[in-house]
Amino acid sequence: MNNAIYGIHHVTAITSDPQRNIDFYVNNLGLRFVKLTVNQDDPSSYHLYYGDELGRPGTILTFFHWPDAPKGHRGTSEVFATSFLIPKSSIHYWINRFTSKQIKFRGPYKRFDNEEVITFYDPDGLELELVAHKSAEDKDIHVWKEGPIPTEQAIRGFYSVTLSEEGYERTASVLIDELGFIPTHQDGSRFRYEIPSKESVSQKEDIGGANIVDVLCLPYIQQAIIGIGSVHHVAYRTPSDKQQKTLRHNIVRAGLNATPVIDRFYFHSVYFREPGGVLFEIATNPPGFTVDETAEDLGTHLVLPPWLEPIRRDLVEVLPPVRSPKKDEITK
């Protein structure tokens, strides 16, 4: 059994409008804006990061700002929904909040035995869920305390992602054999896989949780077109470069086409496409977002990896100005 994956590291989606994106995730959902930087493969566009107070792996939602991308079309071979964990007692708080802010939602409805789910969409049409589950109760210590949501009600990082697939078997075998998930539940066309909790690990080493992948089997719909309002990829977290190397070795041995390790500055990444067509990434927990900003300053300035600093002035010229939610000023 592979023991090197601890759960979800981050989810990366595509937005058409960086300011509207910042306003939605910070002001409406209460996530911390932890990093304003550029897409390393396309530095003339932003890469926006949100998370808990430090953007710990397991809480990180990121966006590529690609205004010219096609509009995403939902279907198979994509991350169909991204789910955040909330306390069970906060359901009515969130329903009231969405109602007062005119955010459309469905639910709450039950999933499996012990979850209540609210489905909603961001301004680009990205499908999100709040999942109320008892595992939220002891997970309030890393919540961003300066946000607009009281700590008792705030989002506690990710709960799960849901993949849509034409068939579940080949995706399941990668989740189980290469990433260490185990099948735990099935309800109709929804198949659930979880990373067993690693009891001996300290909160400092890994926040725990965010360890569920659901596979929705949707054999009769078309393949998704990834674009604005779609998830681009989901990353799973591993604690060290050494464990990442072993995972990569095993993924390649299984016949999947993995990239070399790429230095993303805040973590190290390996990408591969699972057999159902969803882009997966293996990302290391270290070094994290305080590698180039203090914890206090996270998300308040445009930061660039060292190799892009020489062209900062050129980049600032082509990037649209955005306001930091914290200081209400132009960040560049």
Q: Which stretch binds Zn ion (CB under 5 A): 6-14, 35-43, 156-164, 284-292?
A: 6-14
Least distance CB 40 / Zn ion (angstroms): 10
Handedness of CA 62, 67, 73, 76 (dihedral sign): negative
Least distance CB 232 / Zn ion (angstroms): 8
Closest CB to Zn ion among 257 and 294? 257
94: amino acid identity, one letter? W
Q: Which of 281, 298, 304, 324 binds Zn ion (CB under 5 A)?
A: 281
Least distance CB 209 / Zn ion (angstroms): 19
State both tokens at 96. Answer: 């009231």
Closest CB to Zn ion among 206 and 281? 281
DSSP string, 292-327: SS-TTTTTSSB---GGGGGGHHHHHHHSPP-B-TTT
Q: Which of 26, 235, 251, 302 binds Zn ion (CB under 5 A)?
A: 235
Least distance CB 214 / Zn ion (angstroms): 20
Least distance CB 235 / Zn ion (angstroms): 4
Handedness of CA 295, 299, 304, 305 (dihedral sign): positive
Q: Is omega for the bond preceding 67 within 30 degrees of 0, making it cis?
A: no
Closest CB to Zn ion among 122 and 281? 281
Q: Note the Cα 131 to chain centre separation in Å.
A: 15
Exposure pattern of 266-295 as b/e (b: 16+ CB <10 Å)? bbbbbbbebbbbbbbbbbbbeebbeebbee
| 55, 283, 211, 155 alpha-carbon torsion, rounded to 10° | 20
Q: Per CB under 5 A, does 15 bind Zn ion? A: no
Closest CB to Zn ion among 224 and 235? 235
Q: Which stretch binds Zn ion (CB under 5 A): 165-173, 207-215, 236-244, 278-286?
A: 278-286
Least distance CB 11 / Zn ion (angstroms): 8
How many chain residues bind Zn ion (CB under 5 A)? 3
Q: Which stretch binds Zn ion (CB under 5 A): 67-75, 109-117, 198-206, 231-239?
A: 231-239
Q: Which of 5, 12, 178, 265 binds Zn ion (CB under 5 A)?
A: 12
Residue-level length of the chain:
332
Closest CB to Zn ion among 12 and 15? 12
Least distance CB 233 / Zn ion (angstroms): 6
Q: Which stretch binds Zn ion (CB under 5 A): 25-33, 161-169, 215-223, 228-236?
A: 228-236
Considering only residues 84 through 103, tell me which ones interact with Zn ion, judged by CB under 5 A: none
Closest CB to Zn ion among 84 and 266? 266
Closest CB to Zn ion among 78 and 281? 281
Closest CB to Zn ion among 115 and 281? 281
**Residues 312, 293: Cα–Cα separation, whole Å:** 17
Instruction: Tally Cβ neighbours within 10 Å of residue 104.
Output: 9
Which residues, including other chains, have CB under 8 Å from residue 156's CB and lie 6 or more apart? Answer: 52, 59, 84, 85, 86, 87, 136, 139, 140, 142, 143, 209
Which residues, including other chains, have CB under 8 Å from residue 274's CB and lie 6 or more apart? Answer: 170, 171, 174, 175, 256, 280
Binding site for Zn ion (CB under 5 A): 12, 235, 281
